[in-house]
Amino acid sequence: MAYQTFRQEYLQVPPVTRAYTTACVLTTAAVQLELTTPFQLYFNPELIFKHFQIWRLITNYLFFGPVGFNFLFNMIFLYRYCRMLEEGSFRGRTADFVFMFLFGGLLMTLFGLFVNLVFLGQAFTIMLVYVWSRRNPYVRMNFFGLLIFQAPFLPWVLMGFSLLLGNSIIVDLLGIAVGHIYFFLEDVFPNQPGGGRLLRTPSVLKAIFDTPEDDPNYNPLPEERPGGFAWGEGQRLGG
C-alpha cells in the first residue's frame, strides 16, 4: 500500500522536475554507497576538454554534497521551485522549460570557467528560485518565521543566509546572474520598444516534449490565482 501511494505521488510530479530531482538523489546515493566519488563528478575544464570526460558537464549539477542539512536544504528548494515553475508559468510548455535548463546550464558552465566552483547544482537551484520569484512578484514569503517579504527578495535573502552560515556567496551571485539574464531575455526585453524574443525553443525540443493539448481539469497553483499564496501565520520556507 505504501509503495503504491509513493509510486502514485512520484508519477504525479511533472517530468522535468521528476527527472532532475531523481538524478540528484541517485547521484548522492551512489556517492554514499561508494559506487563513485565526488572526484569523478566535479567540474574540471581541463579534464573535460583535454581528457574528454564529458560527463562532468552534467554530473557537477547533480551532486549537492553528502547527506546532511545542506543536502536536504538544497533538495527541498530545488524540488519546490522547480516544480512550481513547471506546473506554473511553464505548464503545457515542457520544451520551453527544458530549453531554460539547457540555456541556464550552458551559461552557468561558461561562467564556471572563470570562477572557482567545482559543483554548480546549488547555483542552478538559485537560478530557478530567481526566475520563479520574478514571475510571482506579489507572493508574500515567510522565511523560518524571521522575515516576511515579497517573492523577488527571496534570492537575496538566501544569499544573506549563506553569508551568515559562512558560505561563499559566489554560488548565489552566479545563480542570480544567470537567472536574471534568462528573465530579462525572456520576459523583459521582448516587451521593450524595439525589443523582441532572442530565446526561441528549437522545434526539435517542441516535437519531443510538448503535448498537443492541456488538461481541461487543471486546478491552478496558488501563485497563479488572484492574491498569490495564502501562506497564513507560521508558514515557512522549507518547512
Q: Is the pLDDT of residue 146 over 80?
A: no
pLDDT band at 165 (very low <50, low <70, confident <90, very high): confident
Provide the CATH number for the domain around residue 137: 1.20.1540.10
Sign of the CA dihedral with 199 first, then 203, 208, and 209 last = positive
* Residues of the chain above pLDDT 70, percent: 87
Sequence-separated (6 or more) residues with CB below 8 Å from residue 124: 61, 104, 105, 108, 175
Give the pLDDT score at 231.
35
Q: How many domains does the chain have?
A: 1
Q: Tell me, yes or no, whether 35 lies in a domain.
A: yes
pLDDT band at 68 (very low <50, low <70, confident <90, very high): confident
Please write the tens of the pLDDT for every residue from 101-145. Answer: 999 999 999 998 888 889 999 999 999 999 999 999 999 988 777
Q: Tell me, yes or no, whether 109 lies in a domain.
A: yes
Question: What's the mean pLDDT when you consider all of the chain?
Answer: 86
pLDDT band at 229 (very low <50, low <70, confident <90, very high): very low
C-alpha cell at 130: 530567481
Give the pLDDT score at 215.
53
> Which residue segment(s) compose the domain that 129 sits in?
16-191+200-205
Q: Tell me, yes or no, whether 68 lies in a domain.
A: yes
Q: Tell me, yes or no, whether 10 lies in a domain.
A: no
First to last CA, the chain: 26
* Separation in Å, CA 67 to CA 34, 63, 73, 113, 196: 13, 10, 10, 27, 44
Q: Tell me, yes or no, whether 116 lies in a domain.
A: yes
Q: Tell me, yes or no, whether 47 lies in a domain.
A: yes
Sequence-separated (6 or more) residues with CB below 8 Å from residue 108: 120, 123, 124, 127, 174, 175, 178
Give the pLDDT score at 124.
96
Q: Tell me, yes or no, whether 228 lies in a domain.
A: no
Q: Tell me, yes or no, whether 212 lies in a domain.
A: no
Of 51-60, 72-81, 205-214, the poorest mean pLDDT is in: 205-214
Give the pLDDT score at 237.
42
